Amino acid sequence: MASQSNGGAVQAAPSDPTLNQRSRTRALAANLTAYSFLAPAGILVILFFFIPMLLVILMSTTNLATDNFTTNIAEWQYVGLRQYETLVNDPFASKVFFNTVFYVLCTLTFFNVTMALIVSLLTVHIPRRSGFFFRALWMLPRITTSAIYIMMWERILADVPFGILNWFNELLGQAPVNYASDYTWVFVIVVNGFIGVSFGMIIFTSAIESIPKDIMNASLVDGSTLIQRIRHIILPMLRWPLLFVITYQTLSLLTSFEQILLLTDGGPANRTEVWALAAYHRALSNYYGNTQWGYGAAFSVVLVVIGVVLAVVYMRVFRFNELVAEPKIEVL
């Protein structure tokens, strides 16, 4: 940006050296102002994202654990890529990998995309105010504190007299069901899915509402039913929002773990352990008797690499550069 502004200034006054000098100083001052506004956010990102990430990458090349723990980086015992070797050969890691794929695919397919689409399609076809009401309802899981949200689910799934589902079972004369352990995956996906719906819902709803009214009317006049209009007109016009929601939500599901931590803690018997949770368990929880920072860091780095690769691919697909326009203001 700096070189660009200077370039413009030089071009504006090519013959007069004093004027040239003055405008160059002006451009520099303007840039300084811009950078000083960017600085606070920049410092935060560097301090709490880039430096920790570098530390984690560094840590993943050590065998740092409870028995040799030290905060002195110089005394860490570096083991090269051995942690990654262990990870690749660890049957637990491959189980967690497939758990994660299953979790992300199911949540994404059933809730973040399909349910979000259904909610937006239904709510744009009913009176505006009712549509708004139902969409607001679907926002609740996202804006509820996760600890409270999970506690509500625990009560829904619990035994009588607390569990609502089992209370219905009792009322209908059915045997009580241990939902939390018998249907763990179902509820892990439902609980996370309910939170995920609202994102796609907002994107899809606004995309549908921005389809010109004339096009919507034209399709009805041309002879389509409401269902045919959704199939032939609305869905094809949602191609980009759909791609965006799928890609963005894949990334956020890959790194999500707090709800699973609170609901099942990866159990029973590691059945719902996902990658991000595994990293946490290895590095920060001494449930296994020995916290392995080095090994946990390796887990995290794998996740970061997958995330960065996917993000770069998505940015290419969405031509991110073309979406960001050149600033219209020339001088601050």
Question: Which stretches of the chain are DSSP H helices?
Answer: 2-12, 17-45, 51-59, 82-89, 91-106, 116-124, 128-143, 146-157, 164-171, 179-182, 184-209, 213-221, 226-229, 235-237, 239-255, 258-263, 275-284, 293-317, 320-323
Q: Which is closer to another protein, CB of 34 or CB of 237? A: 237
Q: Distance between CA atoms of 273 and 92, rounded to whole angstroms? A: 10
Q: Distance between CA atoms of 221 and 112, rounded to whole angstroms? A: 33
Among 32, 54, 164, 215, binds another protein (CB under 8 A): 215
CB of 236 vs another protein, minimal distance in Å: 4
Q: Which is closer to another protein, CB of 221 or CB of 269? A: 221
Tell me which residues in 193-212 interact with another protein (CB under 8 A). 212
Draw the binding track, 230-259, toward another protein (x: CB under 8 A; -: no contact).
--xx--xx-x--------------------
Other CB atoms within a 10 A radius of the CB of residue 87 amount to 22
Q: Which is closer to another protein, CB of 140 or CB of 220? A: 220
Q: Which is closer to another protein, CB of 212 or CB of 289? A: 212
CB of 224 vs another protein, minimal distance in Å: 5
Tell me which residues in 280-319 interact with another protein (CB under 8 A). none
CB of 215 vs another protein, minimal distance in Å: 5
Other CB atoms within a 10 A radius of the CB of residue 271 amount to 14
Q: Distance between CA atoms of 245 and 165, rounded to whole angstroms? A: 32
Q: Distance between CA atoms of 37 and 189, rounded to whole angstroms? A: 42
Given the structure tokens 């259904």, which residue do they identify? 118
Q: Which is closer to another protein, CB of 41 or CB of 221? A: 221
How many residues bind another protein (CB under 8 A)? The answer is: 18
Q: Which is closer to another protein, CB of 219 or CB of 249? A: 219
Which amino acid, one-letter code, is at 299? F
How does DSSP assign 118-162, residue by residue? HHHHHHHSS-HHHHHHHHHHHHHHHHS-HHHHHHHHHHHHS-TTT
* Apex 115 CA angle, 109 and 116, nearest 5: 100
Residue 130 near another protein by CB under 8 A? no
Tell me which residues in 78-97 interact with another protein (CB under 8 A). none
Q: Which is closer to another protein, CB of 127 or CB of 173? A: 127
Interface segment toward another protein; rule CB under 8 A; list 19-27, 92-100, 213-221, 312-320 = 213-221
CB of 228 vs another protein, minimal distance in Å: 7
Q: Distance between CA atoms of 138 and 143, rounded to whole angstroms? A: 10
Among 74, 172, 175, 221, binds another protein (CB under 8 A): 221
Among 74, 127, 172, 214, binds another protein (CB under 8 A): 214
Residue 218 near another protein by CB under 8 A? yes
* Apex 45 CA angle, 79 and 322, nearest 5: 110
Q: Which is closer to another protein, CB of 25 or CB of 228? A: 228
Residue 222 near another protein by CB under 8 A? yes
Query: By the criterion CB under 8 A, which residues form the site for another protein?
Result: 212, 214-215, 217-225, 228, 232-233, 236-237, 239
